[in-house]
Structure 1
Amino acid sequence: MSIGRPRDAARDRAILAATLELLAEGGYPALRVDDVARRAGVAKTTIYRRWPSKGEMVLDAIAEQLGDRSTEETGDPLEDLRRLLQVTYERLAETVAGRALPALSAEIMADRALAEEYRRRFVHPLRERARALIHRAVDRGELRGDVDPDLLMDALIGPALYRPIVLGVPAPAASASAIFDLVISGVGHT
């Protein structure tokens, strides 16, 4: 039996929106729970009842904004992989959460438990889906049999992280298709 008032979904949304706004303004190191509470119009205790740490609150805010990253399968594993890459680049380039995620990744990695949660929620599902598509493409003879699915995924997604973290410039969503063509041409049978 639950005691007390039910959680107010509008408060949750306000807190997550404030988290993203402040993340965009100052980055993860500058993000303070006090500021989120003030911006969301809630008490700090309201936040701590929902999230035990700043990092977990940020992960929920990112997940909320990135939304479902799945794509409908077409039956063509390479086309499905291209579409998965396109959705990933779009979310990274076109959302506050996506633009903050590469830099935030470095901050999160300092906290072992939070890093594992980050990988569980954002990295592993993408890699598992891509790995399955790559295996199907190999089975159909569309990719060489010696292709390392993990290395191929690293090569495909790497520019989306390298450009903002190392070069300080965004990886435009439009570049996903060109990167896909470039990388796949090196491991295909053409």
Structure 2
Amino acid sequence: MSIGRPRDAARDRAILVATLDLLAEAGYPALRIDEVARRAGVAKTTIYRRWPSKGEMVLDAIAAQLGDRSIEETGDPLHDLRRLLEVTYERLAETVAGRALPALAAEIMGDAGLAEEYRRRFVHPLRERARALIGRAIDQGLLRSDVDPDLLMDAVAGPSLYRPIALGVPAPAGSASAVFDLVIHGARNH
């Protein structure tokens, strides 16, 4: 049996919005719980009761803004893979959370537990969906049978992370199709 008041969803939203705002302004290293609390209009203890660490709070804020990244499958695995990449690139380019995600990934790699949580929530689901679509494309003869699904996924998703981390600029949302065409051309079963 739980004692006390139920969690206030409005407070949770205010905390997550404040987290994203501060993440956009100062980046992950400069993000401070006391400033999030001040912006959200809550006590620091309210935040600590909800999240055991700054990193977990940030991951929740990013997940809340990115939302569901699933696509409706059409039966054409290459079309569906293209659409999955377009949605991913769009979310990374067009949201505060998406723009913060690549840099955050680089920052949290020093924390093994948080890095694994990041991979579990953001990387593995995308890779699993893409791997399944690539497998179907191979089975249907649309891609060569010797194509490594993991390497193909790395090649098409890589620019969405490389550009923000190495160059300091987001990968344009529209570049997903161009990257897809360039990479898939070499993997096609001609």
Q: Among all aligned residue pairs of Structure 1 and Structure 2, give the percentage whose two residues are the same amino acid.
A: 85
Aligned to 1:12: 12
1:21-42 C-alpha deviation (Å, 9 max, x unpaired)? 0000000000000000000000
Query: Number of aligned pairs?
Result: 190
Q: Give the alignment of 1:26-65 within 5 angstroms.
A: 26-65=26-65
Map of 1:162 onto structure 2: 162
2:116 is the counterpart of 1:119: no
Unaligned runs of 5+ residues in structure 1 are none
**AA partner of residue 140 (structure 1):** Q
Cα distance per residue 1:142-187 (max 9 Å; x no partner): 0000000000000001001111111122200001001000000000
Q: Tell me the equivalent position of 1:67.
A: 67
Give the Cα separation in 2 of the matches to 1:82 and 1:166: 24
Q: Whole-Å Cα distance in 2 between the matches of residues 105 and 65 of structure 1?
A: 16
Residue in 2 that maps onto 1:82: 82
Deviation of 1:108 after TM superposition, in Å, equals 1.1
Cα distance in 2 for residues equivalent to 1:30 and 1:77 = 42
**Are 2:19 and 1:25 aligned?**
no
Q: Secondary structure at the match of 1:105?
A: helix
C-alpha distance in 2 between matches for 1:48 and 1:133: 40
**Runs of 4+ that moved beyond 6 A:** none
The 2-side partners of 1:167 and 1:2 are apart by 49
Residue identity opposite 1:177 in structure 2: S
CA distance in 2, matches of 1:48, 1:186: 50
> What is the alpha-carbon distance in structure 1 between the residues aligned to residue 44 and residue 162 of structure 2?
36
Partner of 2:99: 99
CA–CA distance in structure 2, aligned partners of residues 73 and 20 of structure 1: 31
1:189 Cα deviation (Å)? 1.8
Q: SS state of the match for residue 171, structure 1?
A: coil
Partner SS for 1:173: coil
Cα deviation for residue 14 of structure 1 reads: 0.1
1:53-84 deviation line (CA, Å, top 9, x unaligned): 00000000000000000000000000000000
Counterpart for residue 131 of structure 1: 131
Amino acid at match of 1:168: G
Distance 2:126 2:98 in 1: 14
**Cα distance in 2 between the residues matched to 1:163 and 1:120:** 22
Tell me the distance in 2 between the aligned counterparts of 1:19 and 1:27: 10
Distance in 2 (alpha carbons) for counterparts of 1:170 and 1:50: 31
Gaps of 5+ in 2: none
